[in-house]
Amino acid sequence: MDAIVLLKNDHKTVEKLFKQFEKAGDDAKKTKRDLVDQIIEELSVHAFIEEQIFYPVARKAVPETEDHVLESLEEHHIVKWVLEELRDMSPEDERFDAKVTVLIENVRHHVEEEEQDWFPEVRRGLGRKSLQEIGEQMEKAKIDAPRTPRPQAPDEPRL
């Protein structure tokens, strides 16, 4: 699969979970816990394949977007800390919903920046064939990717 199509599909999956969370009522504690667990898993895997595969390749192919990549890594970092806190937090906690709301705002902002300006530039820089190959690499990497956020783990490939 084309790498950018794969990443956009992940974004859609997460957006669906966000919408379900926003629709869940105040008393739907169990539903919210399940949704947040799914969000944690989806975003952990997604961040991992971007950081280990897509970001480094894209940065090399389109060096003028390097600042974007560096900002993206910092945005991932913040999101992972919030996810880490949500793992251990009860939906009964009065701050649970607020924390998820802020998480959603952060991720939506991040996704918009990736999709609006940056992906089109990366597509031009890499071309169809490379994007296919990177997409296949990312599909494989998903299988063994961490399912938890791990904010303190290295977020760039080891050389």
The residue ranges that bind Fe ion (CB under 5 A) are: 50, 114
User: Taking the CB of residue 122, how many other CB atoms lie within 10 A of it?
Assistant: 26
Residues 6+ apart with CB under 8 A from 1: 132, 135, 136, 139
- Least distance CB 54 / Fe ion (angstroms): 8
Count of H helices and E strands in the chain?
A: 6, 0
Residue of minimal CB distance from Fe ion? Answer: 50
- Least distance CB 60 / Fe ion (angstroms): 17
Identify which of residues 32 and 110 has a Cβ nearer to Fe ion in the complex. 110
The Cα 65–Cα 117 span in angstroms is 10
Identify which of residues 114 and 155 has a Cβ nearer to Fe ion in the complex. 114
User: Taking the CB of residue 13, how many other CB atoms lie within 10 A of it?
Assistant: 15
Identify which of residues 93 and 112 has a Cβ nearer to Fe ion in the complex. 112
What number of CA atoms fall less than 13 Å from residue 117's CA on the CB side?
9
- Least distance CB 136 / Fe ion (angstroms): 18
- Least distance CB 111 / Fe ion (angstroms): 6
CA angle 19, 101, 39 (to 5 degrees): 55
Identify which of residues 33 and 108 has a Cβ nearer to Fe ion in the complex. 108
Task: Evaluate whether 86 touches 54 at the Cβ level (below 8 Å).
Answer: no
The Cα 5–Cα 7 span in angstroms is 6
- Least distance CB 16 / Fe ion (angstroms): 15
Identify which of residues 13 and 148 has a Cβ nearer to Fe ion in the complex. 13
